[in-house]
Every structure is written in C-alpha cells, then in structure tokens.
C-alpha cells in the first residue's frame, strides 16, 4: 500500500490514512488498521499532486449526478458526450458507476479492453475526439457482480483520475452513480485541486425523484460544487403518431391490434394527422416538476427531455441520437439543453483549438 492509499480491508466511509481524523473517527471503530492510522504521520496526499498534473490538460470538468437510479442519467451523459464531440470538441467520458457501468454499452464499446502505455491507461475511443473509461472495460465477464467495499471502489476512482492519459481535453464528463456516497466524495476530492466546473443533476418529474434531487443539491453545496443546472428527463411520452400501436377492446375483453386500419383511415380521411407528435404524461407532474423545484431553490433549469422510444433504442444500440433521423423528439430537446448549458455556464466561448 502506497502512502495515502486506503487499505482494501478498511471500513466503509474510511476518512483515509492521511486525514486528521484517521483512526479516530466513528468510521474507524473496529478497523484492523485503526491503530496504524492513528499513529501514522499525517500530511498532504502525494497522489493529489499527480492528479492535478494529469488534469491540467483538461479544460472543463462536469459531473452528471442524480438523486436516485433509473432517471436516465447515463443516457444523458452519453448523449452529452456525443453532442460535444460532434461540435469538434475533444471529449472524455469517465464512468465511475462501479456496480452498474452502463456507459460502454451506451457508447457501443462493449467487449473492449483497456490498454496501457508508458503514459498510463489509454481510454477506449469511439471517435478520435471522444474517449471513454469505465470499470466495464476491466471485467472479463460482463455479468460479473462488483461486490466491493467503499475503499476499494474509491481506490479505483482515484486510479482512473490519476493514471488515465486523456491528453488535451476540452471537456471531461463524469457519469457518477446515483445518490451521495463514497464515490461522489472521492471524485470531488480528486478533482478539487483541478477545479470542477460544476454538476448537472438529472431527475424525472415526480415527487419521489425530486425529493432525492434536493439531497443531491445539498450535497453539492456542502462539498462546494456548483450546480450548473437541472434536467427533467422522461418528461412525458412523446413520439410521432405513426409510431403508435392502436388497440381495440373486443366484446370478449381481448385486445385487438387495429393499427393498420387506423393508419389507412388517417391517410384517407385526415392525412394532415400523419405529421403530428402525440404526447402523454407518464409520471405525475402535478407538483410542478423540476421547473418549480428550481425556482424554489434558485437553481438553473436547463430543460425537459421527453421519454422517446427512439432515444432509448439509440442508447441500447450505442448510437448518437443526433445522427439518427428517427429521434425527432428527443434530439432537438437535448440540443436546446446543451446549448443552454454552454451559454449559461460561460462555456459557449470555448473553441476546441484554444483560440
């Protein structure tokens, strides 16, 4: 174990051997390393210097967070990376969700492995200007369960930040797991010396998600991370009316598919309807959704992304929704959000060649 590293057999929420509270905090009770940590000399973590040097070539660092799982945070992270790369920025996407690394699939990189050079670990590249790093690239079996305690997960996150050679980047997007746990504290501590631009928080409209988002906002305030904005994902189901399947309940209570009949009827009787977009609420947004929450908490609201089956399909197939003509609902909504993010965060003046 190098100086400053957290031992693999340490308790959860270990403050770290170099912390002033090492061996003394409540989290240290019963740890086999408690006595060693309590008597060890304290000082600055030498790895932080190496991390700062590594991150010096990264202009902007953005965390993507969510209060709870299943809100589409990784989908947003992936499409944000695709969008920025399409604008000729140099982009890195770091997946620190140790237990559910979905980024490799969403970028079409399943089955790839990490390579090492004299400069460090090399990201896996989608395009020449879009590199990705994830624990998913380290697993020999994609179905393998990651059963790690906090210290081991935190150690790998630290290694990702310290040892991955990103080169010159305009943006490093960090896709974090849901919640406010060890991984979040570790990534903030690791990037603190190199200045994090802030965090984008992804939620869905219903109260059960917004309750957890408020906790995420408070976490950002406590650790000094600016909230760049909130995105309301799955904001109603929207898709072209021609993509819907129409069913009719028969007298026997069975469901009969009448899609073909409806389609032919619309073509003949109301052809102008063929170009309509149909929308329906999926989650209860009667409480005002993310927009109301942002007004109450004085947070930037970046916009809404509808629940679009075509976006879900693009994510499943590892494709950019912006290059997909079928994503007629979600792609424009995401583009507006990204435009607003760049403008309100003062990042719109960034030019990838540094001029």
Ligand-binding site membership of 28 (annotated): yes
Ligand-binding site membership of 77 (annotated): no
Ligand-binding site membership of 71 (annotated): yes
Q: Which two tokens stand for residue 17?
A: 């051997």
Ligand-binding site membership of 67 (annotated): yes
Ligand-binding site membership of 74 (annotated): yes
Ligand-binding site membership of 102 (annotated): no
List beta partners, residue 64.
Answer: 175, 200
Ligand-binding site membership of 68 (annotated): yes
Ligand-binding site membership of 14 (annotated): yes
Q: Which two tokens stand for residue 120?
A: 């460090």
Ligand-binding site membership of 16 (annotated): no
Ligand-binding site membership of 321 (annotated): no
Ligand-binding site membership of 70 (annotated): yes
Ligand-binding site membership of 37 (annotated): yes
Binding residues for [4Fe-4S] cluster: 14, 28, 31, 37
Binding residues: 14, 28, 31, 37, 67-74
Binding residues for ATP: 67-74
């Amino acid at each position: 174990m190098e100086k400053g590293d957290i031992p693999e057999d340490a308790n959860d929420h270990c403050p770290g051997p170099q912390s002033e509270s090492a061996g003394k905090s409540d989290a240290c009770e019963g740890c086999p390393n408690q006595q060693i940590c309590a008597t060890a000399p304290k000082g600055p973590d030498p790895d932080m210097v190496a991390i700062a040097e590594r991150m010096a070539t990264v202009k902007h660092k953005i965390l993507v967070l969510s209060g709870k799982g299943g809100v589409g945070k990784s989908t947003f992270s992936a499409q944000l990376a695709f969008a920025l790369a399409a604008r000729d920025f140099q982009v890195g996407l770091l997946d620190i969700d140790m237990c559910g690394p979905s980024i490799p699939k969403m970028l079409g990189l399943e089955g790839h492995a990490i390579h090492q050079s004299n400069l460090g670990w090399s990201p896996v590249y989608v395009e020449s200007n879009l590199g990705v790093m994830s624990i998913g690239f380290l697993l020999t079996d994609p179905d393998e369960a990651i059963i790690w305690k906090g210290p081991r997960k935190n150690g790998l996150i630290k290694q990702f930040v310290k040892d991955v050679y990103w080169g010159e980047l305009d943006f490093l997007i960090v896709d974090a797991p849901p919640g406010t746990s060890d991984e979040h504290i570790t990534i903030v501590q690791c990037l603190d010396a190199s200045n994090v631009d802030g965090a984008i928080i992804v939620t869905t409209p219903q109260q059960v998600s917004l309750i957890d988002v408020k906790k995420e906002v408070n976490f950002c305030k406590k650790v000094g991370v600016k909230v760049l904005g909130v995105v309301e994902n799955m904001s109603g189901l929207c898709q072209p009316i021609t993509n819907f399947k129409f069913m009719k309940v028969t007298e026997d209570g069975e469901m009969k598919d009448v899609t073909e009949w409806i389609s032919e009827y619309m073509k003949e009787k109301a052809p102008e309807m063929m170009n309509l977009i149909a929308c329906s609420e999926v989650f209860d947004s009667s409480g005002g959704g993310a927009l109301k929450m942002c007004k109450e908490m004085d947070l930037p609201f970046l916009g809404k992304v509808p629940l679009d089956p075509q976006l879900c399909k693009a994510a499943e197939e590892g494709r950019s929704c912006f290059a997909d003509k079928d994503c007629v609902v979600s792609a424009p909504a995401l583009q507006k959000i990204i435009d607003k993010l760049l403008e309100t965060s003062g990042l719109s003046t960034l030019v990838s060649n540094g001029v």
